[in-house]
């Protein structure tokens, strides 16, 4: 009874694929969200298992058990998050949309408008190009108006969020000399690899060591590249090297761009502060700052610091986020808040955990 009263007025939320890191992070954020109630969380392999048995951190906060996807009554939800492998969301999208359910996909099914590029990188056909055309790329700071009325959100990859929010003010104003490539040297905590049984991300393999990976080609390269071209309104050369760092959460992109002549003259610090002054989750740090990833641990903040290098005419950008929050589940909840008219920070006022 109490529960029902408490939930009246709340939207009903479903989560498909709740056993990975983006799934459990959605649970962490949504379990105390004042305007949403989780009504279903599915897992094919763990149906019947209480969620809090797999994730004891949720004891007292989540009473649900995982349900089999076929019995989950997802069409009763107001919104369904897909925290699944690539390809799952597009297989279920039409049924949910027909039932009036909004859909936020944390995988890649609705991120790349060019289905040929999708198919090249994800090795599967895109089965609902019509829905894809209506889907909105879910970075609210870039596409808030579209998010408001979206039925389907392609929630961005973790790396793209850092690179795109880092570069948007420059690209929007045409302040980069695009004759030189943009270089993004990105570093991610190991949780970015997901909660999958693999040797390469074992503690004894990935602790006290680091490496670059995906240098010859990473799936976030075409995603970022496509968005950069949209922001620049022209072609862009882009070099992207991700690195695996021995920390659980956290992402830092160090971005090197050649400034245009105008870019060299302008007060870029002021430009960034103005561009993001009303953005609750984007923190333009004071000039000269050196953001640490832990300064956003567990929170939806993204922090940006600018370093102009006069002798070369380059700008170095430092952008940090929690890859599981602003880089995934937090941004998804932010999108949900916008889609349902809630205050954008509802349920997302988590002070970063430091130390």
Interaction of residue 350 with its own copies, rule CB under 8 A: yes
Q: What are phi and psi of 241, to 5 degrees?
A: -125, 105
Which of residues 85, 87, 174, 181 is near its own copies by CB under 8 A? 181
Which residue is associated with the tokens 């005419």? 313
Contact region with its own copies (CB under 8 A), list: 94-102, 135-143, 267-275, 311-319: 311-319
Give the whole-angstrom CA distance, residue 200 versus residue 203: 9
- 232-271 residues in contact with its own copies (CB under 8 A) are 237-239, 241, 243, 245-250, 252, 254, 256
**Residues touching its own copies, count (CB under 8 A):** 87
Least distance to its own copies, CB of residue 246, Å:
5
Give the whole-angstrom CA distance, residue 154 versus residue 118: 13
Least distance to its own copies, CB of residue 318, Å:
5
Half-sphere exposure of 110 (CA within 13 A, CB side): 31
69 class by beta-carbon count within 10 Å (0-12 exposed, 13-18 middle, 19+ buried): middle
SS3 140: helix
Q: What are phi and psi of 160, to 5 degrees?
A: -55, -40
Give the whole-angstrom CA distance, residue 310 versus residue 126: 46
- 121-180 residues in contact with its own copies (CB under 8 A) are 180
State how beta strands 211-212 and 11-16 pair: unpaired
Interaction of residue 189 with its own copies, rule CB under 8 A: yes
Would you say 159 and 251 are in contact if contact means Cβ atoms under 8 Å apart? yes
Interaction of residue 24 with its own copies, rule CB under 8 A: yes
77 given a catalytic annotation: no
Least distance to its own copies, CB of residue 48, Å:
16
Least distance to its own copies, CB of residue 289, Å:
8
Interaction of residue 190 with its own copies, rule CB under 8 A: yes
Interaction of residue 351 with its own copies, rule CB under 8 A: yes
Interaction of residue 33 with its own copies, rule CB under 8 A: no
- 66-95 residues in contact with its own copies (CB under 8 A) are none
Which tokens sit at 162?
């850092």
- The nearer residue to its own copies, 237 or 274, going by C-beta atoms, is 237
Q: Which residues are catalytic?
A: 158
């Amino acid at each position: 009874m109490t529960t029902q009263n408490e939930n009246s007025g709340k939207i009903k939320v479903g989560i498909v694929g709740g056993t990975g890191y983006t799934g459990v992070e959605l649970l962490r954020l949504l379990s105390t969200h004042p305007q949403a109630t989780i009504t279903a969380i599915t897992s094919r392999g763990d149906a019947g298992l209480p969620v809090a048995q797999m994730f004891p951190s949720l004891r007292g906060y989540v009473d649900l058990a995982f349900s089999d996807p076929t019995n989950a009554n997802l069409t009763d939800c107001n919104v369904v998050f897909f925290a699944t492998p690539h390809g799952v969301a597009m297989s279920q999208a039409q049924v949910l949309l027909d039932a009036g359910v909004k859909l936020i996909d944390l995988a890649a099914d609705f991120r790349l408008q060019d289905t040929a590029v999708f198919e090249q990188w994800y090795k599967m056909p895109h089965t609902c190009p019509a829905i894809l055309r209506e889907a909105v790329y879910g970075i609210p700071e870039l596409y808030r108006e579209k998010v408001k009325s979206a039925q389907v959100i392609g929630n961005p990859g973790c790396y793209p969020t850092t690179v795109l929010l880092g570069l948007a003010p420059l690209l929007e104003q045409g302040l980069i000399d695009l004759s030189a490539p943009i270089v993004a040297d990105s570093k991610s905590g190991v949780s970015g690899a997901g909660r999958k049984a693999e040797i390469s991300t074992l503690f004894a393999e990935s602790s006290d060591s680091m490496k670059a990976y995906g240098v010859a080609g990473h799936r976030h390269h075409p995603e970022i590249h496509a968005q950069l071209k949209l922001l620049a309104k022209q072609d862009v050369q882009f070099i992207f090297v991700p690195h695996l760092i021995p920390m659980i959460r956290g992402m830092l992109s160090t971005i090197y761009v050649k400034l245009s002549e105008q870019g060299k003259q302008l007060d870029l610090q002021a430009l960034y502060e103005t561009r993001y002054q009303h953005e609750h989750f984007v923190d333009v740090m004071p000039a000269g700052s050196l953001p640490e990833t832990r300064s956003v641990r567990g929170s939806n903040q993204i922090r940006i610091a600018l370093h102009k290098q006069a002798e070369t005419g380059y700008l170095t950008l430092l952008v940090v986020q929690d890859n599981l929050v602003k880089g995934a589940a937090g941004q998804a909840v932010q999108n949900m808040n916008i889609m349902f008219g809630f205050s954008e920070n509802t349920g997302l006022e988590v002070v970063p955990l430091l130390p």
